[in-house]
Amino acid sequence: DAKTTQPPSMDCAEGRAANLPCNHSTISGNEYVYWYRQIHSQGPQYIIHGLKNNETNEMASLIITEDRKSSTLILPHATLRDTAVYYCIVRAIDSSYKLIFGSGTRLLVRP
Amino acid sequence: NAGVTQTPKFRILKIGQSMTLQCAQDMNHNYMYWYRQDPGMGLKLIYYSVGAGITDKGEVPNGYNVSRSTTEDFPLRLELAAPSQTSVYFCASSYSDRGHTDTQYFGPGTRLTVL
């Protein structure tokens, strides 16, 4: 599975959009980009995933660049409850069961 | 649905003691996983199971054993607890069909301290 690179920490103001970047320059054609988050001491929570098209669900939007070497997770209106560690994970959905967690980005939402 | 449940929430063990961490899911998922998370680090896969009666090692299996006698349950056994096993343990499950492995859902975790 491709390695990902994320900034160790970010912050944003409550009510504003939080844009979390992820680099995955060695991603293969059959690998998806997954985002999970972990709120303090809880189990990781699935947010969204995508292959090459942009995706949106009730939690967030995922923007993947055309060359697929990077992506951005967007929380459109961040709340204090979005303070968490966000993990960007790349894996092949048809062959790999594994989720390889890196260190993630610690997002702090400020009041 | 309760999702993925884990017991106990907290446990303190003495070196050399043994214990079983319980994990159950009610989503009829065929895949189940055990991860550990050390302070400030990401999760590491200990063992996984693709169905009842089938288990396999992950990245860090030493010191642990698992069994999968039913679809619902996937207990993790520590035989001789060591301080290096102090960690938070997460169980997860997912559904896989014809090679397509779906999203993993995680339990709330068991915080284990070995003194």
CA distance A6 to chain B (A): 13
Kindly state the percentage of chain B with pLDDT values over 70: 97
**What pLDDT, on a 0 to 100 scale, did the predictor assign at position A1?**
60
Kindly identify which residue of chain A lies nearest to residue B92, measuring between CA atoms: A43
CA distance B102 to chain A (A): 7
Q: Does the bond joining B8 to the residue before it have cis omega, within 30 degrees of 0?
A: yes
CA distances from A93 to A69, B59, B89, B96, B105 (A): 17, 19, 24, 10, 15
The chain-wide mean pLDDT, for chain A, equals 91
**What pLDDT, on a 0 to 100 scale, did the predictor assign at position A34?**
92
Kindly state the percentage of chain B with pLDDT values over 90: 83
Express each pLDDT in B62-85 by its tens digit: 999 999 999 999 999 998 999 999
Asked if residues B55 and B48 have their Cβ atoms less than 8 Å apart, the reply is yes
**What pLDDT, on a 0 to 100 scale, did the predictor assign at position B103?**
84
Average pLDDT over residues B79-99: 90
Answer yes or no: do B45 and A98 touch at CB < 8 A. Answer: yes
Chain A residues within an 8 Å CB radius of B107: 43
Burial class (CB in 10 A: 0-12, 13-18, 19+), B16: exposed
Average pLDDT over residues A21-27: 94
User: How sure is the predictor about B98, in pLDDT bands with cuts at 50, 70 and 90?
Assistant: low
CA distance B81 to chain A (A): 22
Cβ-nearest to B48 among A49, A87, A97: A97
